[in-house]
Amino acid sequence: MDTEPEGTRFMTATSTTACQSCGMPIESGPYCHHCVDGTGALQDFETRFERMVGWQQRRDPSASREALESATLDYLATMPAWRDHPRVTAR
C-alpha cells in the first residue's frame, strides 16, 4: 500500500536563494555565475553595473542611457552586495 500523499512521490527538496549582487535565483553561494569572475570573486562594481545596464537596454531599447542607469542604480540599492557602494548611495 502506498502511504505517500498523491502527487508527492517525485518531488525533490531544492532550496534556492537569491544572488546578493543581482537577485537571480541560485542554489548555493552568495553570487550567481554572471556576477563573479573566473576565480569566483565578485566582479567589480563598474563591470557589474555596465552589464546590468546592458541587460536593461536589451529589455527596453527605447530607454535613454540616463533612465537605464537610474533604474539600475535603484535596483542595485536593494541588493546586499551593492547597497552600501558609494555610487549607489550617491544616487
Structural domain boundaries in the chain: 17-86
Question: CB burial class (10 A; 0-12, 13-18, 19+) of residue 6?
Answer: exposed
The whole-model pTM stands at: 0.80
CA distance 4 to 1: 9
pLDDT of res. 16: 84
Residue spans of beta strands (DSSP E) within 1-91: 17-18, 25-26
The crossing angle, in degrees rounded to 10, of helices 45-59 and 65-76 is: 120
Classify 91 as helix, strand or coil.
coil
Q: What is the pLDDT along the chain (91 residues), one digit of tens a residue?
A: 445 445 444 444 567 899 999 999 999 999 999 999 999 999 999 999 999 999 999 999 999 999 999 999 999 999 999 999 999 999 8
pLDDT of res. 91: 87
